[in-house]
Amino acid sequence: MARIAVVTGGSRGIGEAISLALKDMGATVVANYCGNDEKAREFTARTGIPAYKWDVGDHQACLDSCAQIAEEVGPIDIVVNNAGITRDGTLARMQYCDWDDVMRVNLGGCFNMAKATFPGMVERGWGRIVNIGSINGQAGQYGQVNYAAAKSGIHGFTKALAQEGAKKGVTVNAIAPGYIDTDMVAAVPAPVLEKIVAKIPVGRLGHAEEIARGVAFLCSEDAGFVTGSTMSINGGQHMY
Ligand code: NDP
């Protein structure tokens, strides 16, 4: 039977590419989104992948929506925690709400989705969780203390939960993308982006599909021995 996968923020950007890659792999995919109804409708019409609307930063909404998906589609085998936001600014300008929103969605979302799905995976003896971190969680970035802290937290969260799942058939991994050509990066001012691209050894932004292929591998049967790891897909930037 096909594995059932939930991709948060799965209806556009990197998440859209992940939803499609998992579908191509034979999974039954459900995409989550939060605000952009029009894009979600267009995505579902084009791909046939249903889109469920909820805020991953809302703990109860994650529990309720995952229970609804389990009832309507089936038990969730694969979760890709991809939903993420930025609220950039130097510390002097950053407000508490900018810190809180980013922590709540980017890091809190991973906890909320794990609470909703990890116990079922353990019970059934098979599961895959992939958390989307960031190069800026590994290296830090000017004007992103909130985002860098949340993404860095994802890497610790991944390693800790991987230890809980290791003997139960549940793997937990992270991917740390470099700069990828999506709406999120389109929001970076052009002169800043030019400087960023100049520092990428491969000499260009990444494509969402290049992240999605890594996610698909980590979610596959073949990746059962890969857990607690972070795959950096960044065009050679920040090598270590
Ligand atoms: P986009 O801004 O293009 O898309 C973000 C997605 O997340 C959208 O689908 C959005 O839903 C969803 N989302 C936002 N907030 C919530 C929420 N509270 N609940 C549920 N869904 C939500 O981002 P990218 O595709 O660029 O990024 C995807 C992930 O990759 C993020 O975690 C990001 O931090 C990470 N990343 C991106 C990089 C890049 O260069 N683009 C680099 C490194 C990491 P909706 O459509 O409804 O708005």
H-type helices in the chain, by residue range?
13-24, 37-47, 59-72, 96-102, 108-124, 135-139, 145-165, 183-186, 190-198, 208-219
Q: How many angstroms separate the CA atoms of 110 and 104, rounded?
A: 9
Residue 33 CA, ligand 1 centroid: distance in Å: 9
Q: Is 39 in the pocket of ligand 1 (CB under 6 A)?
A: yes
| Ordered structural domains, the chain, with CATH | 4-230 (3.40.50.720)
Strand partners, 128: 78, 171
Q: How many angstroms separate the CA atoms of 160 and 61, rounded?
A: 24
* Global pTM value: 0.98
Of all helices (H) and strands (E), which one includes residue 33? Answer: strand 28-33
Distance between start and end Cα atoms, the chain: 39
Q: How far is CA 137 from the centre of its chain?
A: 13
Q: How many angstroms separate the CA atoms of 75 and 117, rounded?
A: 9
State the pLDDT at residue 23.
98
Q: Which residue has the tokens 């292929």?
A: 213
Summarised one tens digit per residue, pLDDT across range 195-224 is 999 999 999 999 999 999 999 999 999 999
Judge contact between 152 and 103, C-beta under 8 A: no
Query: Which protein residue's CA is at the shortest distance from atom 46 of ligand 1?
Result: 36
55 CA closest ligand 1 atom index: 19
Residue 10 CA, ligand 1 centroid: distance in Å: 8
Residue 81 CA, ligand 1 centroid: distance in Å: 10
Q: What is the DSSP letter of 179?
A: -
104 CA closest ligand 1 atom index: 18
Q: How many angstroms separate the CA atoms of 179 and 36, rounded?
A: 22
State the pLDDT at residue 51.
98
142 is catalytic: no
Judge contact between 102 and 85, C-beta under 8 A: yes
Show the low-confidence residues of the chain (pLDDT under 50). Answer: none
State the pLDDT at residue 187.
86
